[in-house]
Structure 1
């Protein structure tokens, strides 16, 4: 099977590999679409602590059942919840398996979807709604991240929202909140090409390189500040700014994975009685809701800016590691 292989820092190749054997409890899937995630970019850069070369990356993918599933017939369109949990630690035993103490993922800790065929555990197979395309189905995982953040952050319809970052996750969060009734969503992003996409999607855009974010947010909220701030950027300047732009007794929700410890103004947090929460991946219910959301809001497909053939594997990573208008880049097998 044709596969995209991570061979080492900043090095990928296209190789022919054997179709994986279907072990007990796992299902063989013929891949259709697979997206490049921020985690894949970390792997590509050689910065991921667990991913080891050679590796077939990809944990955002869709495809069709080939064999191994007890109830879904061959050809059933599916996506995969890529979380691999131990089932034995305290979080797993108390219904919080998404924060399993030894959480692993398909495409990071074992081969993933950047190949013509991939295997995944039976219990992680999610059938696509009848009206959802395989292309859109490959977006379900990042939408589940956004759904989890909105639910975990306890967003209330009608509240003002600031979203830092107009990449896939930031725009998925903004669109998810919009579907939940948010009417005043401000997206902060220094990349003008990404801001253009955010504006096309109907969001108020702020470029921190040329605008004062704090003052702009105050103007947009009648001087009170934003009810919520969602950090989807992971830049040290963001978490410092977040405590300023959020209102008194507001909430900061951190989705981004910070590579190094960041400075937070704790005194400002105390004076304003702020709440700060952190989210990681998603629960099974979040994943289900993401499927329902994609089925009812097909405009999420507008986040998919590039669909490339496997032969252009390198181009996909180049698009996301240089200043371009790329948001979600996918490969089609």
Structure 2
């Protein structure tokens, strides 16, 4: 079969590899669409601590069942919950396998969806609703991240929210907040192309290079500050702003993964009695909610800015590691050989 293989820092290749063998309690998925996410970019850069070459990346993907499964028929549309929990540690035994002490992921610790076929544990395979296309089905995983952040953050209907970062996760958070009745969602981003996307989706936008963020947010919130702020950017400069723009007794949700220690205004947090929540990945319930959101909300598909044939493996990654208008880049494996790099649907 054909696959996109990570072969070393800043290098991927499209090549022939062996079709995966099926272990007990695993099923085979024929991949349709698979996305590049921030973790894949870390792997591509050679900085991920666990991912080792050669590796088939990809944990955001959709496809169809291609072998016998206990409850899902061959040919049915599916996506995956790619979390691989140990089932033995304290978090796993207390109903929190998403924060397993030895958490692993399909596409990082085992071969993933950037291939014509992928073998996945049966319990990780999730049927897609009939209303959700295979293309948009590849978005279930990032939307699940957004759902988890919002649920764990204690968001309440009608809250005024600020989202830092207009990448895939930030825009998924913004769209999910609006879906669930946020009275106001402001997206803050320095990349003008991404800000344009947020504006086209109907959000109020601010650029910290051009705007006084504290003054603008106070003006938008009757001088109170935002009820809840989501950091989906993961840049130290964001932490200088979040405590300024959130209201007294407000909530800050750290969604992005910080690779290095960063300063945080602890005294301001104390004076305002702020709540700071850290979130990681998602639960099975979050995945179910994400799929239902996709059934009822067509806006998410606009986040897919590019669909490449896998033959153009390197182009997809290069596009995302340089400033561009790209948000979510997918590879489409069920049309191997098609050359249009904008849309092959």
1:43-72 residue CA offsets vs partner (Å, 9 max, x unmatched): 000110000011000000000001131121
Indicate whether 1:266 and 2:250 are aligned: no
For the residues of structure 1 that align with 2:269 and 2:189, how far apart are their CA atoms? Answer: 23
Structure 2 gap segments, 5+ residues each: 334-345
Aligned residues: 333
Q: By how many angstroms is 1:183 displaced?
A: 2.4
Q: Following superposition of structure 1 onto structure 2, how do residues 61-72 of structure 1 map, counting pairs within 5 Å?
A: 61-72=61-72
Comparing 316-325 with 54-63, greater Cα deviation is found at 316-325
Report the TM-score, using the length of structure 1 for normalisation: 0.99
| Counterpart-to-counterpart distance in 2, 1:115 and 1:239 | 38
SS in structure 2 of the partner of residue 318 of structure 1 = helix
In the alignment, the residues of structure 2 paired with residue 274 and residue 240 of structure 1 have an alpha-carbon distance, to the nearest angstrom, of 15
Aligned to 1:254: 254
Q: Tell me the equivalent position of 2:144.
A: 144
Whole-Å Cα distance in 1 between the matches of residues 23 and 144 of structure 2?
27
State how 1:149-160 maps to structure 2 within 5 Å. Answer: 149-160=149-160
Matching of residue 304 in structure 1 with residue 272 in structure 2: no
Paired with 1:213 and 1:27, the residues of 2 have a C-alpha distance of 49
State the distance in 1 between where 2:273 and 2:178 align.
26
Structure 1 position 41 matched with structure 2 position 41: yes
- Contact in 1 for aligned 2:68/2:74 (Cα 8 Å): no
User: Is the 1:26–1:68 contact (alpha carbons within 8 Å) kept by the matching residues of 2?
Assistant: no
SS in 2 for 1:181: coil
Q: 2-side partners of 1:162 and 1:234: how far apart?
A: 14
Q: Identify the residue that residue 50 of structure 1 maps to in structure 2.
A: 50
Aligned position for 2:337: none
User: Which aligned pairs between 1:1-333 and structure 2 lie closer than 5 A?
Assistant: 1-333=1-333
Runs (4 or more) in structure 1 with deviation over 4 Å come to none
Q: Distance in 2 between matches of 1:128 and 1:283?
A: 17
- Cα distance in 2 for partners of 1:71, 1:242 equals 46
What is the CA–CA distance in structure 2 between the aligned matches of 1:252 and 1:124, rounded to whole Å? 31
Counterpart of 1:155 in 2: which secondary structure? coil
Q: CA RMSD in A?
A: 0.6
CA distance in 2, matches of 1:20, 1:84: 18
DSSP-derived class of the 2:6 partner: strand
SS at match of 1:63: strand
> Is the 2:60–2:140 contact (alpha carbons within 8 Å) kept by the matching residues of 1?
yes
Checking the alignment, whether the CA contact within 8 Å between 2:6 and 2:13 is kept in structure 1 is yes
CA distance in 2, matches of 1:151, 1:225: 21
SS of the residue corresponding to residue 205 of structure 2 reads strand
Cα distance in 2, alignment partners of residues 78 and 251 from structure 1: 35
Identify which range, 194-203 or 67-76, moves more after superposition: 67-76
Shift of 1:88: 0.3
SS in 2 for 1:329: strand
**Residue by residue, what CA displacement relative to the aligned partner does 1:269-313 show, whole Å, maximum 9, x if unpaired?**
000110000000000100110011111112210111101101111
Aligned-pair CA distance for 1:166: 0.1
Give, in whole Å, the separation in 2 of the partners of 1:309 and 1:14.
10
- Match of 2:66, SS state, is strand
Q: Is the 8 A contact 1:22 1:68 kept in 2?
A: no
